Amino acid sequence: MTPEVERMERLAERLRTVEPFIPPPGAKIRGWNLVLAAVEQSTAARVRVHPVRRLVIGAAAAAVLLLAGAGAASADSLPDSPLYPLKGVLENARGVLAFSATDRLAYHLDLARIRLTEAETMIARHRVDLAGASLKALDDQLSSAALVVQSERHADPAAAARLQERLRQAVTTDDQQLADLQGQARTPAAASAIVEARARAADALKLTQEPSASPTASPGGRPSPSRSNGQASPTSTP
């Protein structure tokens, strides 16, 4: 082997040991939300509609144009936006269409991720009150997801195990992001809200591990998050 080839080999070996760049959990979650939304939009656009129905749909579309415009504008709205309540209406409508346990779980986990992103933004804007509400709403969604797993356990234990694993992964990812957020919190109130949120998320996961546990009380005796708190998020649990 010539000295030049040896040098190239050593350099190649050194390159192989370079640690990869790891994306922040928030980036991955944001990306997934955007990909999911784009795929759903793309699928809807490809659905072929009968010509007669097109007229009816066209008329209906014209009638709801203003609402749709407002709805689209609200889709990315944040808790400090006047359009935020409309976002909740649209989210609830989406929840009505989640029939299977898999769809319901995906629905709650998606909303949990959205609430987490909102909380992150509110903390960045020093709106600790709204961040706290978003974090409570995040935990409400995780608790609802846990209930989906629990109810599925009676109907189909194998499917429930798969759902539980998805929930566990989601809670783990959320907890990592909350830990990052906790490190960035500048006020004790914000840090405290995040600590509580992490504890409630862990409780939600425990709920799925104990089939006999009451859905109204967490294993540790801590009251489960109120799922009727309409102010915590734009979405009330369906």
Partner 1 sequence: MREPGKAASDDDRPLIERVRKGDQDALRTLYERYFDRIYNYVYARLGRAEDAEDLAIDTMTKSLTRLDLFHDQGGAFSSWVYRIAHNATIDHYRRHGKVALVSLERAPVPESADPSELAVEQLSNEDLHAAIRDLTDEQQQVLILRFFQDLTAAQAAAVMGKTVGAVQALQHRALGSLERALQGRAAN
Report, in Å, the least distance between residue 14 CB and partner 1.
4
Closest CA to 134 of 225, 41, 42, 32: 225
Select 62 or 158, whichever has its Cβ closest to partner 1: 158
Q: Per the structure block, which two tokens stand in for 173?
A: 């990812």
**Is 36 among the residues that bind partner 1 (CB under 8 A)?**
yes
Name which position in 86, 90, 106, 128 contacts partner 1 (CB under 8 A): 106
Report, in Å, the least distance between residue 162 CB and partner 1.
9
Select 14 or 53, whichever has its Cβ closest to partner 1: 14
Radius of gyration of the chain, Cα coordinates, nearest whole angstrom: 22
Select 86 or 181, whichever has its Cβ closest to partner 1: 181
Report, in Å, the least distance between residue 215 CB and partner 1.
25
**Is 161 among the residues that bind partner 1 (CB under 8 A)?**
no
Name which position in 71, 94, 98, 102 contacts partner 1 (CB under 8 A): 102
Select 128 or 142, whichever has its Cβ closest to partner 1: 142
**Is 125 among the residues that bind partner 1 (CB under 8 A)?**
no
Report, in Å, the least distance between residue 132 CB and partner 1.
27
Hey, which residues between 41 and 60 contact partner 1 (CB under 8 A)? 42-43
Residue type, 91: E
Closest CA to 84 of 95, 69, 73: 73
**Is 158 among the residues that bind partner 1 (CB under 8 A)?**
no
Select 11 or 65, whichever has its Cβ closest to partner 1: 11
Give the dihedral sign, CA 48/49/55/56. negative
**Is 227 among the residues that bind partner 1 (CB under 8 A)?**
no
Question: Which one of the spans 22-30, 54-62, 174-182, 222-230 is the region binding partner 1 (CB under 8 A)?
Answer: 22-30
CA-to-CA distance for 198 and 182, rounded, in angstroms? Answer: 10
Which residues here bind partner 1, judged by CB under 8 A?
Answer: 3-4, 7-8, 10-16, 18-24, 27-28, 30-32, 34-36, 38-39, 42-43, 102, 106
